[in-house]
Each structure stands twice: as C-alpha cells, then as structure tokens.
Amino acid sequence: MATQIITLVGVLIGALTSYLVTVTAERAKFRRTMATRWDERKLDTYIAYVSCVKEIHRAAMEAARARDNGEDAAEALARMEAKEDKRSVLFETFVLLADESAAAAAHTVNQRTWDLLTKARDASNGLHAMRAVTLVQALNTLHEAARKDLAITRTGPLG
C-alpha cells in the first residue's frame, strides 16, 4: 500500500510540474507574441508619422523655392496643409503607442513643424527663413528615441 501511495504522489508531482511548466511557457509565448504585435504597430506608426513630417518639410521648402523664383506657391502650400492634417491624426496614434522619451521627442518635432508651417504660410518668407527652422535636428532626436523604444541597435557608423 505504501508503494502505491508513493507512486501516486510521484505521478501527481509529475503532472503538477508538467502543468506548471506548460502554463509558464504558454504565458511567455503569449507575451512575446503581444510584444511583437505592438512593436510592429509602433514601427508602422513611427514610419508613417516621420514620413508625413518629411513631406510637410519638402512641400514647405518647395513653396519657399517657388516664392524665391517668383512663381506661384499655392500648389506646394496645399500639399503642405493636407499633410499637416494627416500628421495631426498620426500623432495621436504615435503618442498612444510610444514610450515617454519618443512621445516627448515627437512633441518637439510637432513644435518645429508648426514653426515651419507658420513661416511657410507667410508669403514674405523664402528658403532662407525655412532653413532657420531646426526640424531636422528634432527628427534626428526622434529617430534615436524610436530606435531605443523598439530596441533597435546600430551595428555600425552612419554613412
């Protein structure tokens, strides 16, 4: 009878151990899956936001260049305004998904973008005024924060 009890206890301990290991492994797998899912969503959002800001910058520079050449800047300004509307919407998703550092960097990018928009909307400003806005520096800071948030490491020098 004692051997049967010992065998039964051994079977129960084995079953319990197997169950706990399986549950732990499944939880870890679920967490990895969720982290990957959100990282993919973050990356897509970061790319869309930064691309939109770059398109605003490009359109503002085109408008300024047109003014400097005595041409009509209306088309470039219309593209710039449309992209600004899109950037505003993308920013909300960005802030929801980003960590604190990336969100703070995005707020700075927003401020620099607004500075650029203000200058671009002023018909008296040309390329010189546009170049005074430090948007590129703010974007570089955002890139660093986004890489850190996504745990992307650099393997070599920029070039």
Q: Is residue 81 part of a domain?
A: yes
Q: Please state, in angstroms and rounded to a whole number, the distance separating the CA atoms of residues 116 and 134.
A: 9
Count up the domains in the chain and report the number.
1
Q: Is residue 7 part of a domain?
A: no
* Burial annotation 3-18 (CB, 10 A radius, 16+ → b, else e): eeeeeeeeeeeeeeee
Q: Please state, in angstroms and rounded to a whole number, the distance separating the CA atoms of residues 107 and 120.
A: 20
For 55-92, the pLDDT digits (tens) are 999 999 999 999 999 999 999 999 999 999 999 999 99
DSSP string of 45-89, one letter each residue: HHHHHHHHHHHHHHHHHHHHHHHHTT---HHHHHHHHHHHHHHHH
Sequence-separated (6 or more) residues with CB below 8 Å from residue 109: 53, 135, 138, 139, 142
Owning domain of residue 121: 37-149
What's the confidence (pLDDT) of residue 103? 97
Q: Is residue 124 part of a domain?
A: yes
- Please check the confidence at residue 18 and state whether its pLDDT lies above 90: no
CATH assignment at residue 107: 1.20.120
98 and 42 Cβ atoms separated by less than 8 Å: yes
Task: State which of 21-35, 63-77, 125-139 shows the largest mean pLDDT.
Answer: 63-77
73 and 59 Cβ atoms separated by less than 8 Å: no
Q: Is residue 87 part of a domain?
A: yes
Q: Is residue 144 part of a domain?
A: yes
